[in-house]
């Protein structure tokens, strides 16, 4: 019995040893097999799967996410950032830049441009325009305006002025003169009559004569007649004095 038991124990031991060897061989085999298989399989599978999955998933996810996120983020961020940044930056930059640039540019440009342009333009334009315009305008305007204006103005003014001035002047002058020199009573009556006559005559004559004669538009004749009227008035005043 002891021999059988010993034999059985030896057998069991050998089986255990063989089993251990087999397990070690299987572990080595499985490790090598699984490493090779999994490396090849996973590399191929993951490359294909991940490429397809990630391409579809990421395209959909990123398109939706980025569209929503970027639209919200950029709208809020850019609105706040740009409003603050641009307001501060542009206010400072433009104020400094435009002040320096415009001052230098406009001073140089305007000085050169305006000096050359205005000198040439104004010399040509004013010479041509003023020569043509003034020649036509003054010839037409002065003829009609002076004829109408002088006829109306001188007729009204001289009639009113001479009637009032001569009547007042001669009445005052004669009253003073006669109060000092009563010996010239007859002369005062004559002179008062003459003053009334001359004032009425000259006012009527000058109003009619000037209105008819000056409306003809003869400028040289207007000046001559105006001088004659002045000479007549001067002679009248000398007679009264």
Per-residue pLDDT for 170 more than 60?
yes
How many Å apart are CA 198 and CA 192, to the nearest integer? 10
Identify whether 34 is part of a domain. no
Residue pair 236/198 in contact by the 8 Å Cβ criterion: yes
Q: Structure pTM?
A: 0.23
The widest CA-to-CA distance across the chain, in whole angstroms, is 208
Residues 192-205: tens digit of each pLDDT:
666 667 666 666 67
Per-residue pLDDT for 219 more than 50?
no
Identify whether 116 is part of a domain. no
The boundaries of the domain holding residue 232 are 141-240
Closest residue by Cα to residue 207 from 164, 156, 171: 156
pLDDT at 177: 66
Identify whether 102 is part of a domain. no
More confident residue, 24 or 92: 92
Q: What's the token pair of residue 185?
A: 């009573």
How many Å apart are CA 209 and CA 162, to the nearest integer? 15
Identify whether 110 is part of a domain. no
**Percentage, residues of the chain above pLDDT 70:** 63
Per-residue pLDDT for 48 more than 80?
yes
Per-residue pLDDT for 209 more than 60?
yes
Identify whether 45 is part of a domain. no
Q: How many domains does the chain contain in total? A: 1
Give the contacts of 236 (CB within 8 A, at least 6 positions apart). Answer: 166, 198, 202
pLDDT at 135: 76
How many Å apart are CA 197 and CA 236, to the nearest integer? 12
Identify whether 82 is part of a domain. no
How many Å apart are CA 168 and CA 171, to the nearest integer? 5
Identify whether 55 is part of a domain. no
pLDDT band for 211, please (50, 70, 90 cuts): low
Identify whether 204 is part of a domain. yes
Burial 2-38 (b: 16+ CB within 10 A, else e): eeeeeeeeeeeeeeeeeeeeeeeeeeeeeeeeeeeee
**Percentage, residues of the chain above pLDDT 90:** 0
Angle between helices 185-214 and 219-240 (to 10 degrees): 170
Residue pair 121/181 in contact by the 8 Å Cβ criterion: no
Per-residue pLDDT for 223 more than 80?
no
pLDDT at 95: 82
């Amino acid at each position: 019995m002891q021999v059988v038991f010993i034999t059985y124990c030896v057998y069991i031991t050998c089986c255990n040893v063989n089993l251990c060897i087999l397990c070690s061989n299987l572990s080595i085999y499985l490790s090598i097999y699984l490493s090779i298989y999994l490396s090849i399989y996973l590399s191929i599978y993951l490359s294909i799967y991940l490429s397809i999955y990630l391409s579809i998933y990421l395209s959909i996810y990123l398109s939706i996410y980025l569209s929503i996120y970027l639209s919200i983020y950029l709208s809020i961020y850019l609105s706040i950032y740009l409003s603050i940044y641009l307001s501060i930056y542009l206010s400072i930059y433009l104020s400094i830049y435009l002040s320096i640039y415009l001052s230098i540019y406009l001073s140089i440009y305007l000085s050169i441009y305006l000096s050359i342009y205005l000198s040439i333009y104004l010399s040509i334009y004013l010479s041509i325009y003023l020569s043509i315009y003034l020649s036509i305008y003054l010839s037409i305007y002065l003829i009609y305006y002076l004829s109408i204006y002088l006829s109306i103005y001188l007729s009204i003014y001289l009639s009113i002025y001479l009637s009032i001035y001569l009547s007042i002047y001669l009445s005052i002058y004669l009253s003073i003169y006669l109060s000092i020199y009563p010996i010239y009573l007859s002369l005062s009556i004559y002179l008062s009559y003459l003053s009334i006559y001359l004032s009425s005559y000259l006012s009527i004559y000058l109003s009619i004569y000037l209105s008819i004669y000056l409306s003809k538009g003869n400028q040289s004749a207007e000046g001559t007649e105006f001088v004659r009227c002045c000479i007549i008035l001067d002679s009248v005043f000398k007679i009264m004095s």
